[in-house]
């Protein structure tokens, strides 16, 4: 068996645990006993209340069935209704069931006597009284016998039972009220007892807290005061605390030993502290250097980002110049990119910097091509020294940037006053400028590519035909302005990549033959298509536009990479073809009439003998139709000459009024049409070909007459 040590028996933990255990066990026993008493009392009252309630409910049901029996019996006696008799027997059976339930309850002597009387009544009524009454009712309604049977004692029992149920209800209500009052009194009593128990618990808790305060808090306060005194260099007094045998006493003894140990090693600790302070200063210096290195790396990373992604000359020069000044701390500097005269400066006015880069010494430029970088040391003049009293020197650094062809493309000119450039700085600067040369070349290459791209795009945009480049996946990667105008891609730029479904949907929506056009375009985009083909379609956007599209493949070696569509607006050509077709049809029709007349009259003159006066008339008709035929052919030839631009005009000054009057007179013989001339402008002169002008007016009036077969008025205004 393990023996407990003195420390374990006297420790604060064991004392507190024992006290707490005693308190918890005591209160658990009290609370358990209290709960048992409360529960038993409440259960007893609840059981009594339920029993009384159950008796009351059964008495009510017995009363209801008792009344039902006599009500059904009288209904049967009066009307001899078999349904009433059936319900009477059902009430008797239910009354018997209720009597059995009532007998199983805890009954008083009075209730037991009532039960016996009801059982006897039920038996007599069911076996004797009811059969007699039924026989009297069936014998012609012997109501006198029924009245005598009823007065034989049944009515007395009914009245007695009704009077008992009323008094029983009053007794039951009174008993329930007493039980409720008793329950309330018990609740109040239990509440008071609970409050007393709670107060007792608080009292015990206060006692425990006081013990804890005396045994733990006050010793801890003494230790705290002793610690503060020790920190202030004062003497300490722990009193009786070191004599305690619990944990706080052990802690106080350990604290005293620690104080003695600290005092013994104070000198050693002071020396170590001085060493730690020196190490801290060194660490702070290293941290400062590390921070400077991190700042340098951050700026270097930013410069790398600029050198890698910047394509703007001025932005690149500005960022590089700012970086060099942050790192090397120049007093005055100029970074000059010779291509495009781009430069950035520090400590110089705009005029001075411009003069410096424009009049750069050719000898220094030649030296830079040989040495890459060099430094010139010079003594400052009195004007340059400013308020300085002693003489000192300025160090002018010249460094160069070359391209891959060993051509000088940029120059750095930087001055530091009183601080020379060491070899490490110059080597670092040269390495950095070597990297910069790559960025310079990339920008120059980008500018050349951009110029070529802009030139190509300008050429494409100025082509009258619409050009569309479609990738192998079907997306449009290039269009020109002419195509935007032809197919109404007005919201797109030349750098917009249009997905296949979008531009095909646009063509389908605007085309008059959408299915055929989409079939042609999709077939041309397919990788299997490696030839050229043409197709004509009509666009119906605001008005009809006839377009001829030419499709050809674009190859990279043997691999097809896309398709080029060339869309040409052929609306004017189409209209000219239509006009030619209509003209040929019209001329054919117009030629047939005079030719038929010439052939008919010629055949008459050749085959028949005709009188001379009729021959003259026929010949005159043939001549007139021949002249008409000649005029038609001349009109056709004039049209061809006008289309080819070879029509010649005999221009002269003409009075338009006279020509108009002469033309109107030519149509005086018209019977269905009246041609009128309204001259509102007197003596109007024009420079024109008279024959062509007369031909124009005749055609206008002739067409008006031709297309007005019903007749009417023709008006001509001048």
pLDDT in tens, 19-73: 777 777 877 888 888 788 777 777 777 777 777 777 777 777 777 777 777 777 7
Does residue 114 contact residue 164 with C-beta atoms inside 8 Å?
A: yes
Give the per-residue pLDDT at 3: 41
Of 324-338, 550-564, 700-714, the one with minimum mean pLDDT is: 700-714
Quickly count helices (H) and strands (E) in the chain. 22, 14
What angle (nearest 5°) sits at the alpha carbon of residue 110, between those of residues 104 and 116?
60
Question: Mean pLDDT across the stretch 661-674?
Answer: 73
Per DSSP, 498 falls in state B
Q: Residue 132 is encoded by which pair of tokens?
A: 């007699």
Q: Residue 342 is encoded by which pair of tokens?
A: 């781009």
Residue 306 — very low, low, confident or very high, per pLDDT cuts 50/70/90? low
CA 662 to each of CA 355, 404, 649: distance values in angstroms, whole numbers, following the listed order: 83, 86, 21
User: Coil, strand or helix: which one is 415?
Assistant: strand
Give the per-residue pLDDT at 612: 83
Please provide the average confidence, as pLDDT, over all residues in the chain. 75
Give the per-residue pLDDT at 7: 44
Give the per-residue pLDDT at 649: 77
Of 256-270, 364-378, 566-580, the one with minimum mean pLDDT is: 256-270
C-alpha 688/C-alpha 690 separation (Å) is 6
Q: How far is CA 430 from the centre of its chain?
A: 50
Q: Can you state the percent helix, strand and coil of the chain, rounding each to 5? A: 70, 15, 20
Q: Which of 600, 635, 607, 606 is nearest to 621 (CA)?
A: 600
Of 241-250, 384-393, 589-598, 695-704, the one with minimum mean pLDDT is: 241-250
Q: Residue 507 is encoded by which pair of tokens?
A: 């063509």
Q: Has residue 202 got a pLDDT over 50?
A: yes
Which has more pLDDT, 512 or 638?
A: 512
Residue 6 — very low, low, confident or very high, per pLDDT cuts 50/70/90? very low
Q: What are phi and psi of 513, to 5 degrees?
A: -125, 75
Residue 447 — very low, low, confident or very high, per pLDDT cuts 50/70/90? confident
Of 157-161, 326-330, 399-403, the one with minimum mean pLDDT is: 157-161
Task: Give the model confidence (pLDDT) of 342-386 as tens digits.
Answer: 888 888 888 888 887 777 778 887 888 788 888 888 877 766 666
Give the per-residue pLDDT at 643: 67
Q: Has residue 153 got a pLDDT over 60?
A: no
Q: Has residue 397 got a pLDDT over 80?
A: yes
Which has more pLDDT, 551 or 90?
A: 551
Write the CB contacts of 369 (distance below 8 Å, at least 6 apart in sequence). 400, 408
Give the per-residue pLDDT at 2: 37
Number of Cβ within 10 Å of residue 401's Cβ equals 27
Q: What is the DSSP string of 665-701?
A: HHTTT-SSEEEEEE--SSS-EEEEEHHHHHHHHHHHH
Q: Which residues pair with 469 in a beta bridge?
A: 478, 564
Residue 236 — very low, low, confident or very high, per pLDDT cuts 50/70/90? low
Task: Give the model confidence (pLDDT) of 107-140 as tens digits.
Answer: 777 777 777 877 777 777 777 777 777 777 776 6
Does residue 551 contact residue 563 with C-beta atoms inside 8 Å?
A: yes
């Amino acid at each position: 068996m393990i023996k407990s040590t003195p420390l374990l028996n006297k420790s604060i933990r064991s004392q507190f645990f024992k006290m707490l255990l005693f308190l918890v066990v005591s209160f658990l026993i009290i609370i358990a006993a209290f709960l048992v008493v409360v529960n038993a009392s409440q259960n007893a009252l609840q059981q009594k209340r339920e029993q009384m309630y159950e008796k009351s409910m059964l008495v009510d049901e017995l009363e209801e069935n008792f009344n039902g029996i006599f009500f059904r019996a009288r209904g049967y006696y009066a009307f001899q209704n078999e349904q009433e008799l059936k319900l009477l027997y059902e009430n008797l059976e239910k009354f018997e069931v209720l009597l059995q339930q009532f007998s199983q309850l805890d009954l008083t002597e009075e209730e037991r006597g009532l039960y016996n009387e009801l059982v006897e009544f039920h038996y007599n009524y069911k076996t004797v009284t009811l059969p007699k009454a039924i026989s009297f009712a069936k014998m012609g309604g012997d109501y006198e016998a029924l009245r005598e049977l009823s007065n034989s004692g049944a009515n007395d029992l009914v009245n007695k039972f009704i009077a008992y149920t009323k008094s029983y209800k009053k007794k039951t209500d009174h008993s329930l009220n007493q039980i409720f009052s008793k329950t309330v009194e018990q609740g109040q009593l239990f509440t008071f007892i609970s409050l007393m128990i709670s107060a007792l618990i608080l009292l015990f808790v206060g006692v425990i807290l006081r013990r804890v305060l005396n045994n733990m808090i006050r010793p801890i306060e003494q230790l705290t005061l002793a610690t503060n005194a020790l920190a202030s260099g004062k003497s300490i007094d722990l009193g009786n605390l070191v004599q305690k045998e619990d944990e706080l006493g052990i802690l106080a003894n350990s604290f005293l030993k620690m104080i003695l140990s600290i005092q013994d090693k104070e000198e050693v600790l002071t020396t170590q502290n001085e060493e730690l302070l020196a190490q801290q200063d060194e660490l702070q210096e290293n941290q400062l250097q590390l921070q400077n290195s991190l700042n340098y790396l951050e700026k270097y990373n930013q410069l790398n980002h600029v050198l890698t992604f910047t394509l703007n000359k001025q932005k690149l020069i500005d960022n590089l110049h700012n970086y060099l000044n942050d790192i090397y701390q120049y007093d005055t500097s100029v970074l000059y990119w010779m291509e495009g005269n781009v430069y950035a400066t520090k400590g110089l006015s705009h005029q001075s910097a411009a003069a410096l880069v424009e009049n750069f010494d050719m000898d220094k430029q030649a030296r830079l091509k040989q040495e890459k970088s060099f430094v010139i040391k010079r003594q400052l003049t009195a004007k340059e020294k400013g308020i300085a009293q002693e003489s000192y020197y300025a160090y002018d650094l010249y460094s160069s940037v070359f391209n891959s062809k060993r051509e000088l493309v940029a120059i750095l000119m930087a001055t530091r006053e009183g601080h020379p450039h060491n070899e490490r700085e110059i080597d670092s600067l040269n390495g950095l400028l070597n990297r910069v040369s790559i960025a310079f070349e990339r920008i120059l290459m980008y500018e050349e590519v951009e110029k070529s791209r802009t030139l190509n795009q300008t050429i494409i945009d100025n082509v009258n035909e619409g050009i569309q480049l479609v990738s192998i996946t079907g997306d449009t990667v290039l269009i020109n302005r002419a195509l935007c105008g032809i197919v109404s891609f007005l919201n797109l730029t030349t750098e917009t990549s249009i997905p296949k479904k979008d531009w095909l949907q646009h063509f389908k929506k605007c085309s008059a033959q959408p299915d055929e056009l989409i079939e042609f375009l999709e077939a041309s985009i397919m990788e299997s298509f490696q030839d050229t083909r043409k197709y004509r379609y009509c666009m119906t956007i605001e008005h009809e536009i006839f377009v001829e599209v030419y499709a050809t493949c674009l190859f990279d070696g043997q691999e097809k990479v896309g398709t080029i569509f060339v869309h040409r607006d052929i609306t004017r050509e189409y209209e000219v073809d239509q006009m030619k077709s209509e003209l040929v049809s019209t001329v054919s029709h117009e030629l047939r009439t005079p030719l038929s007349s010439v052939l008919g009259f010629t055949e008459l003159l050749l085959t028949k003998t005709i009188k001379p006066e009729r021959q003259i008339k026929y010949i005159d008709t043939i001549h007139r139709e021949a002249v008409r035929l000649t005029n038609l052919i001349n009109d056709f030839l004039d049209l061809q000459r006008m289309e080819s631009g070879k029509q010649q005009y005999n221009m002269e000054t003409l009075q338009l009024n006279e020509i108009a009057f002469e033309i109107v007179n030519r149509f005086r013989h018209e019977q269905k049409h009246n041609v009128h001339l309204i001259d509102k402008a007197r003596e109007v002169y024009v420079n024109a070909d008279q024959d062509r002008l007369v031909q124009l007016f005749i055609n206008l009036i002739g067409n008006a007459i031709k297309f007005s077969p019903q007749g009417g008025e023709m008006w001509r205004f001048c």
